[in-house]
């Protein structure tokens, strides 16, 4: 849904893991799933300290 | 030929030739015949009508005592028994434009007399009044006064005669947000295909469904380091405590909830629910962290990577939610977060 976020003008957009579980993935083992969540949150924190001039998507590494 | 219409014009002190900014405090007054800019209206009317009265009001009087100014102007206008009222055009003059819009709305509503005004797209009177009254688009300045007044008068005559008014683009007025059924020769499928072909070929096309405009919001800078910042979690993915205590609607939400996570290092799935009807919520109900990452955010707080995790999570349902409600809820939540000293937000969305 990141194109929608860009269209409505959200400025810092982090690509997450999917619509039904943006910060998780039920197919992963619990520890792996939590590590995935941690990476997304850390990327959001990184985005927060990045200066942007327009809606910017931070894609998953 | 139809009888000649009685027309009343409204002007400010400047266009009524009463004076400049020094006369902006003048109260409403009526003058016989066409005075100042109203003479252009008379010229555009030709034989179709006569400007019987010009009413004028100072810009500051109208801006500072709006309701009183409108009431006094309405009394002066009613005495002239008009068939049509033409206000302005106000071009880019803000106080004047707002007064023109408010007066036209009152003329239509109270006197049941048609009214028309004109102004520049960026005049604040446009957004305030275009839904209620016909506001013809003009330039920013009065350099082409007669041409612009001709368009106001053409539309005004249609209104006064009860003739059908065309679409905004055809008549040159700002869209009023009305939908009207029309019969077209091509089916929706044909029109959509033609639009798509135009789009693919880079040709201009105009959609039949106007999209809401999303004003751009400047990206704020995080003023502190993350280590000293308070971070809040907000979601439009619908997480609520079991029982949905705020009765947040499953779609087209008008409400949001504020839920404490004080003392929690994780969210117990049995304590939460999710009324969101825009996605399959099974996985989030199974583990709420898949939507609201309290577990890792708390760890980042404890490790010092962030200064503090805000103890309130705000949540609503983002599906088929109107732009107006979204904007209102967002502004309310932002106010509360700012008052609580929150520096930044991670908003998780489905």
B141-159 pLDDT, tens digit per residue, is 888 999 999 999 999 999 9
Token pair in block for residue B110: 């109270």
Contact yes or no for A22 and B222 at CB 8 A? no
Q: What is the pLDDT of residue B159?
A: 97
Write out pLDDT tens, residues B76-130: 999 999 999 999 999 999 999 999 999 999 999 999 999 999 999 989 999 899 9
ipTM for the complex shown: 0.96
Q: Domains in chain A: how many in total?
A: 1
Nearest-angstrom CA–CA distance, B26 and B18:
9
**Residue among A60, A9, A15, A18 at smallest CA distance from B279:** A18
Compute the distance between CA of residue B143 and CA of residue A9 in angstroms, rounded to an integer.
Answer: 37
Among A19, A22, A37, the strongest candidate for a mutation testing the B interface, having the largest count of B CBs within 10 A, is A22
Q: What span, in angstroms and rounded, lies between the C-alpha atoms of B299 and B81?
A: 75
Query: Can you list the domains of chain B with their CATH numbers?
Result: 5-171 (3.40.50.2300), 226-348 (no CATH)
Residue B279 in contact with partner chain A when CB distance is under 8 A: yes
Q: Where are the alpha helices (DSSP H) in chain B?
A: 38-45, 59-64, 66-79, 94-106, 124-129, 145-161, 168-171, 188-200, 282-286, 294-302, 323-339
Range(s) of the domain holding residue A12 = 2-58
**Token representation of residue A21:** 């579980």
Residues B311 and B261: beta-carbon distance below 8 Å? yes
Q: Is B217 on the interface with A (CB under 8 A)?
A: yes
Q: Find the CB nearest B290 among A7, A23, A45.
A: A23
Torsion sign, CA atoms B111, B112, B113, B117: positive
> Region B228-248: what's the mean pLDDT?
97
Q: Indicate yes or no: CB of B279 within 8 angstroms of CB of A5.
A: no
Instruction: State the average pLDDT over residues A42-55.
Output: 95
Is pLDDT of A22 > 70?
Answer: yes
Structure confidence at residue A29 (pLDDT): 97
């Amino acid at each position: 849904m990141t194109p929608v976020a860009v269209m409505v003008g959200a400025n810092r957009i982090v690509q997450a893991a999917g619509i039904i579980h943006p910060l998780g993935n039920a197919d992963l083992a619990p520890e792996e799933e939590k590590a995935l969540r941690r990476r997304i949150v850390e990327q959001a924190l990184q985005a927060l300290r990045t200066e942007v001039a327009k809606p910017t998507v931070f894609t998953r590494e | 030929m139809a009888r000649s219409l009685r027309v009343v014009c409204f002007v400010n002190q400047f266009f009524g030739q009463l004076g400049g900014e020094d006369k902006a405090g003048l109260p409403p007054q009526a003058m016989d015949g066409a005075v100042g800019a109203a003479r252009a209206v008379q010229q555009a009317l030709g034989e179709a009508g006569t400007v019987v009265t010009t009413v004028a009001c100072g810009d500051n009087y109208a801006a500072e005592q709006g309701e009183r100014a409108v009431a006094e102007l309405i009394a002066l206008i009613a005495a002239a028994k008009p068939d049509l009222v033409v206000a302005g055009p106000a071009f880019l003059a803000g106080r004047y434009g707002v007064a023109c819009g408010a007066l036209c709305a009152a003329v239509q509503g109270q006197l049941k007399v048609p009214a028309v005004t004109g102004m520049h797209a960026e005049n604040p009177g446009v957004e305030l009044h275009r839904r209620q009254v016909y506001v013809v688009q003009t330039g920013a300045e009065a350099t082409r006064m007669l041409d612009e007044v001709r368009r106001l008068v053409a539309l005004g005559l249609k209104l006064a005669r009860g003739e059908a008014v065309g679409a905004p683009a055809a008549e040159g007025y700002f869209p009023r947000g009305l939908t009207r059924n029309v019969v077209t020769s091509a089916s929706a499928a044909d029109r959509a295909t033609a639009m798509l072909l135009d789009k693919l070929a880079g040709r201009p096309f105009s959609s039949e469904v106007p999209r809401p405009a999303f004003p751009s919001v400047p990206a704020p800078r995080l003023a502190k380091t993350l280590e000293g910042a308070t971070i809040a979690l907000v979601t439009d993915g619908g997480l609520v405590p079991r029982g949905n205590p705020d009765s947040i609607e499953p779609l087209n939400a008008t409400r949001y909830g504020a839920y404490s996570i004080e003392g929690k290092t994780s969210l117990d799935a049995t304590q939460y629910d999710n009324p969101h009807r825009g996605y399959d919520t099974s996985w989030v109900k199974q583990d709420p962290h898949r939507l609201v990452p309290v577990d890792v955010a708390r760890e980042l707080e404890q490790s010092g990577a962030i200064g503090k995790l805000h103890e309130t999570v705000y949540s609503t349902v983002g599906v088929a939610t109107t732009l107006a409600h979204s904007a209102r809820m967002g502004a309310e939540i932002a106010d509360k977060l700012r008052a609580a000293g929150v520096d930044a937000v991670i908003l998780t969305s489905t």
